[in-house]
Amino acid sequence: MPLTLTITEGVLIKGREAQAIQQLTDAMLESHGLTGNEVLTPNITANLHILDKKQTFSGGKPFSGVWVEWKVPSFSFSDREVQLQYFKKATDIIEKLSGYSQARDNIYVNVVHAVDGAWNFDGQAMTNEQIIQAIS
Give the lowest-confidence range in 7-11, 48-52, 59-63, 120-124.
Answer: 120-124
pTM over 0.85: yes
Q: Rounded CA gap, 22 and 33, in Å?
A: 16
Q: pLDDT at position 120, please?
A: 87
The total of structural domains in the chain comes to 1
Q: Which residues, at least 6 apart from 99, have a Cβ–Cβ distance to it below 8 Å? A: 13
pLDDT digits (tens, 9 = 90+) for 10-58: 999 999 999 999 999 999 999 999 999 999 999 999 999 999 999 999 9
Q: Rounded CA gap, 33 and 130, in Å?
A: 18
Beta-strand runs (E) in 16-94: 46-51, 57-58, 61-62, 66-73
Neighbours of 63 (CB within 10 A): 13
Domain that includes residue 9, residue range = 3-135
User: Alpha carbon of 57 to those of 65, 66, 103, 110: distances in Å?
Assistant: 8, 11, 14, 17
Q: Which CATH number belongs to the domain containing residue 68 in this structure?
A: 3.30.429.10
pLDDT digits (tens, 9 = 90+) for 105-114: 999 999 999 9
